[in-house]
Structure 1
């Protein structure tokens, strides 16, 4: 036995290169394994961050905001959507909110929020809740719309050019309320007149900005440049519908809000 080992040594055959080669291969495999583990961990972390961001963004925007001018019928509409009951109301000076169960197969629940319509209050409440808006219900008094068209258009302009709302793109429902009143304007006519008024407003607002420092602040250009304004040009989906929170047969009757409920069920 000793003779054989001596012969291998004498013949110049050494095991050291072979052992070194095996050791190097094992080290290389360890490095590959370590890199694989690190890559796998990185993928898991990135996936978790993405899922958290995605799920959070979906969850946060769960509010349905009722907005509009004073006395448009927002608070009564708020009550009708929640309970179906008629309720005598007064001008709101703060927000009201409650869970709203949508009438659909999923039994979805949104947070319905009634915002004050007074000009001195509405901007601060809009700022507070706009990031959470999945939908905005803009309530219009169809009976006296002709008198308020300028004020309605100015408020709409603020909403439709808001950078946060344009980015989040909540569903926008213009609820032409008080259709039970004889002099009420139709949703189609209200849409047409608002498009004309907003087109005029866009010109005057753009001119005012350019005469200052040329900065639009947090505003987005309304519609498409070089074309008369139409709601179809917006990145936000805008739908006009008719309703009557009071109901066509008096206070004891049911409200005529099926079109609004149907649109909210599709959110």
Structure 2
């Protein structure tokens, strides 16, 4: 069997980096990166351990190590420099992936063309002595070439669900996004409780959003930790 040439080894290293780049991405509809779906987190009653990050770091570092072995490069000559470049590449991959997924969504003609900026999106369910409300903002972009009209419903966290007896709340407004338009949707809506409340107050985060119209719907899910936390025992919160 022939030994690989330096060029072939270098190509394999770049292919490896390309595979890691893809594995670090997600679909935007789900925040879990692809490698976390393959190497699922280890969960116990009180904690979750994500080990996929170590696989990513190890994979990038090894590719840089082999590239330097093939031809010495001062940027990745030492272990410390390779580690720094590994961290920079992980940051770079994350930034580039956001642009790639928006381009990909641009090929859709339905609501799958909608991109949510998760870092700037936050929804909170609040309860005080008088009112129960949902407030926050959703940052979205229409990556497609057609105008989109849709409604939004938000999954109700367990603690709120016991008060209002609903799995989802529908926001009253219809939203319109023109082609390539980015918009921040500001949410503020009062919720009606069903009977006497079990809680004196709370402030909890929403994490799942569904965009829908008469033709289709698209779900933007929360993380595995979001759903696990939502299913926790709530008895300690009750009066």
- Same fold, TM-score > 0.5, yes or no: no
Bigger proportion of residues as strand: 2
Bigger proportion of residues as helix: 1
Q: Provide the TM-score with structure 2 as the length reference.
A: 0.30
